[in-house]
Structure 1
Amino acid sequence: MFQFCSDPDSLEGLSWLACYLTTGKHMLFYQSFFVVLALLAITAPIALAFGFAGAMAARARFAPLRWIGTAYTSMVRGVPDIVFFLFVPFGMDQGIEWLRHKVKCPDWSEPIRQGNDFLVCAEAKMPLNSAPQFWHEAYGFALAVVAFAIVFGAFAANVLSGAMRAVPHGQIETAEAYGMSHRQAFWRVMVPQMWLFALPGLSNLWMILIKATPLLFLLGVEDIVYWARELGASKTSQYSYPHPDWRLWYFLGLLVFYLSFTRVSEVVLDRITRRLSHGQATALGEEMRKAG
């Protein structure tokens, strides 16, 4: 980045450090923080949508739909996260390639499964081998988003289902007595009030989601954990900027990042909770009423 960085061997002190921290790989390291933030920004609303759909399905009057909602929340929550994160992306990837293989290579005669190998024709690969690196990374990121959304959607469904049950049933009966249909009472009375009861559980899920983002490293996405390990490992004299093992300092930087981010999240969520509790018949709402 700097002109004086053209000859790393002649650098020392702060000049060496400035050039070292502005190399191309370090720029990718800095960009990987935005990858984590993008994962959170995209996954959170999708997981919430999965959770809301699962909670509604678990409350459905149609029995098969209720069984599906209950099975989703129970089975997904019962599987270890790391197993699910490893299974879903690879399973989805192979499923997509299998479908593309059937369409694009109908004359393929050899079996797709050959021992531990999964072989499809080159045209069925996702993405294609000739595709730019950006599409390979975007495809892996998309699979990661789906895996995170399915897992945390199951937990969100359990939280939202409990929040729906926490809304006094007498309010639903009163709304129906005033002429509202069951659907209208659900959307106009229950849904607006349930968020206050769901917010503590959803706040915990948000914190867990933040802590789960390093699992991107296991899915092959070049996130902050990948680059911290790559850049922090010892570099010999064959590299432009040789240094001993600095992984401790890189991972210490990640620790500071995650602690700072969770602290900011706590402050924001606390303000949202207090805002929603204003005027509500809850302990916090009563405390605010007395203080006012």
Structure 2
Amino acid sequence: MFTYCADPSALAGLKWLSCYLTTGKHMAFYWSFGTVLTLLAITAPTALLFGFGGATAARSRILPLRWFGKSYIAIVRAVPDIVFFLFFVIALDQTFEYLRHRAFCPDWVLPVRQGNDFVVCAAAKLPQNNAPQWVHEMYGFFTAVLTFAIVFGAFAANVLFGAMRSVPKAQLETAQAYGMTPRQSFWRILVPQMWVYALPGLSNLWMVLIKATPLLFLLGVEDIVYWARELGGTKNPRFTDYPHGDWRIWYFLVLLVFYLAFTKVSEFVLERIMKRLTHGQATLGGTS
């Protein structure tokens, strides 16, 4: 990064530190903070979409659809997150490859499941072995986002389902009495009002989602926890230009500050949203 970094062995003090903190691996560490924020920015609305679909299905008048919605909520919420992440990513990846295998290699005669091995033709592999590194990274990030969205979508569905049931039925009945169809009363009466009841639960879910981002490491994504452990570990002079002892405590301290600051900002934003949603609404203590 700096011209004086050409010979690290001749550096000391702040110059050594400035060169050490601007190495390629440290740049990847800084970039990984953006990876976490991007994951949250994509996963949150996607999980909310899954949750809205699950909650709508759970209250559907169509019995199979209602069973599907309630089963989705119950099954995903009952399985520990770490178990779901470890299992589901493998199952999801194999499902994609199996579908591609059936489409691209119809003449394949060998069984796909061979003991403990899952064998598909080369054309079905995701991503392809000759694909650039960024394709492998984007595919891993995509599976991570989808897994997070499905898991937290089930929790969001449970929150939204409860919020929908909290809207007074008298309002829906009044809407129907004025000639609104069930679809119109759902979108014009139920959905706008349910957010007031749902926001406290969704706020807690957002905080849990923030704390769950270190699970990216389990999904093969080089996140901030991966790089903190990688950079903070003891470095031998034989293998690096910037040897040092066990500095993991300092790197994880940086992560601590990051997560605390991010959750504090989130609390402030969520509080402002809640005040906006409840402005002028009657409460037990009067109007807010």
Same fold (TM over 0.5): yes
CA–CA separation in structure 2 for the residues paired with 1:99 and 1:224: 33
CA-CA distance at 1:179 after TM superposition: 1.3
Structure 1 residues 250 and 70: CA distance shift in structure 2, 3 A: same
CA–CA separation in structure 2 for the residues paired with 1:50 and 1:282: 31
Aligned pair 1:213/2:213, yes or no?
yes
CA-CA distance at 1:116 after TM superposition: 2.2
Partner of 1:131: 131
Equivalent runs, 1:125-204 vs 2, <5 Å: 125-204=125-204
Q: Which amino acid is 2:228 matched to? A: A
Aligned pair 1:270/2:271, yes or no?
yes
CA–CA separation in structure 2 for the residues paired with 1:265 and 1:39: 15
CA-CA distance at 1:89 after TM superposition: 1.3
CA–CA separation in structure 2 for the residues paired with 1:171 and 1:124: 53
Q: Which amino acid is 2:119 matched to? A: L
Q: Which amino acid is 2:219 matched to? A: L
CA-CA distance at 1:121 after TM superposition: 2.6
CA–CA separation in structure 1 for the residues paired with 2:58 and 2:100: 34
Deviations 1:31-86 (CA, angstroms, capped at 9, x unpaired): 00000001000000010011111111111111111111111111110011111111
Q: Which amino acid is 1:149 matched to? A: A
Aligned pair 1:95/2:95, yes or no?
yes
Partner of 2:261: 260
CA-CA distance at 1:283 after TM superposition: 4.6
CA–CA separation in structure 2 for the residues paired with 1:176 and 1:287: 28
CA-CA distance at 1:268 after TM superposition: 0.5
Q: Which amino acid is 2:273 matched to? A: I
Structure 1 residues 229 and 176: CA distance shift in structure 2, 3 A: same
Between stretches 163-172 and 121-130, larger displacement belongs to: 121-130
CA–CA separation in structure 1 for the residues paired with 2:78 and 2:280: 38
TM-score (norm 2): 0.96
Aligned pair 1:17/2:17, yes or no?
yes
Aligned pair 1:54/2:54, yes or no?
yes
CA-CA distance at 1:287 after TM superposition: 5.4
Q: How many residues align?
A: 287
- List gaps (5 residues or longer) in structure 1: none
Between stretches 67-76 and 116-125, larger displacement belongs to: 116-125
- List gaps (5 residues or longer) in structure 2: none
Deviations 1:150-169 (CA, angstroms, capped at 9, x unpaired): 11111111100111111111
Structure 1 residues 43 and 245: CA distance shift in structure 2, 3 A: same
Q: Which amino acid is 1:245 matched to? A: D
CA–CA separation in structure 2 for the residues paired with 1:48 and 1:72: 14
Deviations 1:220-277 (CA, angstroms, capped at 9, x unpaired): 1000011111111110112110000111111111111001100100000001101111
Root-mean-square deviation (CA, aligned residues, Å) is 1.2
Q: Tell whether the 8 Å contact from 2:164 to 2:190 is kept in structure 1 after alignment.
A: yes
Partner of 2:249: 248
Partner of 1:279: 280
Q: Tell whether the 8 Å contact from 2:281 to 2:287 is kept in structure 1 after alignment.
A: no
CA-CA distance at 1:280 after TM superposition: 1.2
Q: Report the secondary structure of 1:140's partner residue.
A: helix
Aligned pair 1:73/2:97, yes or no?
no
Q: Which amino acid is 2:181 matched to? A: S
Structure 1 residues 5 and 55: CA distance shift in structure 2, 3 A: same
Between stretches 179-188 and 111-120, larger displacement belongs to: 111-120
Moved over 6 A (4+): none
Q: Tell whether the 8 Å contact from 2:280 to 2:287 is kept in structure 1 after alignment.
A: no
CA–CA separation in structure 2 for the residues paired with 1:282 and 1:146: 38
CA-CA distance at 1:200 after TM superposition: 0.1
Q: Report the secondary structure of 1:200's partner residue.
A: helix
Between stretches 93-102 and 161-170, larger displacement belongs to: 93-102
Q: Which amino acid is 1:260 matched to? A: A
CA-CA distance at 1:87 after TM superposition: 1.4
